[in-house]
Amino acid sequence: MTQPFLPLTARSREEAHRAATPLELFFDLCFVVAVAQAGAELVHAVAEGHAGTGILNYAMVFWAIWWAWMNFTWFASAYDNDDVLYRVVTLVQIAGVLILAAGVSRAFEDHDFLVVYIGYLVMRLALSTQWLRAAHHATDPAERTMCRRYAGGVAACQIGWTALLFVPEDGRPWVFLVMALAEMAVPVYAEKDVTTHWHPHHIAERYGLFTIIVLGETIAAATVAVKSGVAENDALGEVLPIAAGGLLIVFAAWWIYFVVPAHDRLASNRQGFLWGYGHYLIFTSAAAIGAGIEIAVEQAVGEAHITTLAASSAVTIPAAVFLLCVWLLHARYFKVGFAQQAVLPVAALAILMCSFAGHWAVFAAGLVSAATVAVGVTLTATNPATRRNGPRAS
């Protein structure tokens, strides 16, 4: 039975059988709403021929979503005590996520960040409260200082974000860049003397679960687009290759991400920062694949005011970025020999080249993605050194 109040103290990194909690899973699912809104706005912007503005807005909004998720995830890995107060404060953070999601459209279309800011304010005040509570219960002075640095840094950055509401529109991307860098500097500064006790297996699982959720949203968005293309335009022949290719890309993305034990790359705080921050590109590109499939479908049925090359690139570019980022962050550390190391970079280049395959571009990219998995499995099975070292396949 859940206790009303328990000390919010650090958990052990060596804790056995550490797994994601139902509250964490609920937290992740609520983020899907925000991810879906960002993807839908990206589709609209690119389909209307405003790719540059749409991509910039998407990158900024998705960063806000990702950073809020990541702040909670790493804190929970170190301090989750699952008492009533902890649950209530986490639910407040979820409310902030939903407010942020409600403001995504206005941020894209009117560059009005007020609702997004309010959602962020709710989330960050709750997070600061959690850090202050952890500081109150800390017995080690260095840990107490670290928690206070986190609380103060989060609060200071939230004040800095207020500038988004007042600076001219042309200056907002620069404000965003400065504040994003400041936000990412807070954990580095806070943990310069002592580190939080995040759990490697738990963190790897949490990131994996969010990857699954983003890929699931990609499939959902693509399914709706294909359904619309068939029902409203009777264009089964045009959308079927896109649907098949998109599905192969998503299936391959799942396979390639989960094929190696990611937690083995989380032995230190330095590795944790690089791995955790680098996932921004993995999550962003994974969600953008779904948006790209929607764009390709709209272009195929004549509802998007862009070229076939542009529509194809909306799928192939994020797919290639996903493969490269997974390779850079953890897959390459589990490869033996040049052939295994070259599979994902070569596949990324091949997927980019598929952009020029006209209406068959997405299908061709899907075939390349499937072939990448098949080649990886074959190379792993035929390399004795790989079998001894333990990676399963890619």
H-assigned helices in 259-360? 269-300, 308-329, 337-353
The pLDDT assigned to 1 comes to: 61
CB 137 within 8 A of CB 8: yes
Full DSSP string of 211-260: HHHHHHHHHHHHHHHHHHHHHHH--HHHHHHHHHHHHHHHHHHHHHHHTS
Residue the block writes with tokens 């490697």? 200
CB 260 within 8 A of CB 331: yes
In angstroms, the CA 90 to CA 250 distance is 31
The pLDDT assigned to 253 comes to: 95
283 Cβ contact partners less than 8 Å away, ≥ 6 residues apart: 62, 66, 210, 211, 214
The pLDDT assigned to 390 comes to: 47
In angstroms, the CA 273 to CA 253 distance is 23
Q: Which helix (H) or strand (E) holds 98?
A: helix 84-102
HSE on the CB side for 328, CA within 13 Å? Answer: 16
CB 61 within 8 A of CB 108: yes
Rg from Cα positions in the chain: 22
95 Cβ contact partners less than 8 Å away, ≥ 6 residues apart: 122
178: helix, strand or coil: helix
CB 254 within 8 A of CB 212: yes
The tens-digit pLDDT sequence of the chain (394 residues) is 667 878 888 888 888 888 899 999 999 988 888 888 888 889 888 888 888 888 988 998 899 889 999 999 999 999 988 899 999 999 999 999 999 989 888 888 777 889 999 999 999 999 999 999 999 999 899 999 999 999 999 999 999 999 988 888 888 889 999 999 999 999 999 998 888 888 888 998 999 999 999 998 888 877 877 777 777 666 777 888 998 999 999 999 999 999 888 777 777 667 778 888 999 999 999 999 999 999 998 888 888 889 999 999 999 999 999 999 999 988 888 788 888 889 999 999 999 999 999 989 999 999 999 999 999 888 877 765 554 444 444 4
Could you tell me the two tokens for 31?
A: 């983020």
Our CA angle for 362, 363, 367, nearest 5°, is 115
In angstroms, the CA 324 to CA 63 distance is 19
Sorted by where each begins, the domain ranges of the chain are: 22-190, 202-389
Could you tell me the two tokens for 132?
A: 């202050």
Amino acid at 387: R
In angstroms, the CA 2 to CA 16 distance is 21
Q: What are the respective helix, strand and coil percentages of the chain, to the nearest 5?
A: 80, 0, 20
Our CA angle for 128, 209, 16, nearest 5°, is 80
**Buried b / exposed e across 162-183, counting CB within 10 Å, b at 16+?**
eebeeeeeeebbebbeebbeeb
In angstroms, the CA 289 to CA 277 distance is 20
- In this prediction the pTM is 0.90
Could you tell me the two tokens for 191?
A: 């943990």
The pLDDT assigned to 2 comes to: 67
CB 253 within 8 A of CB 322: yes
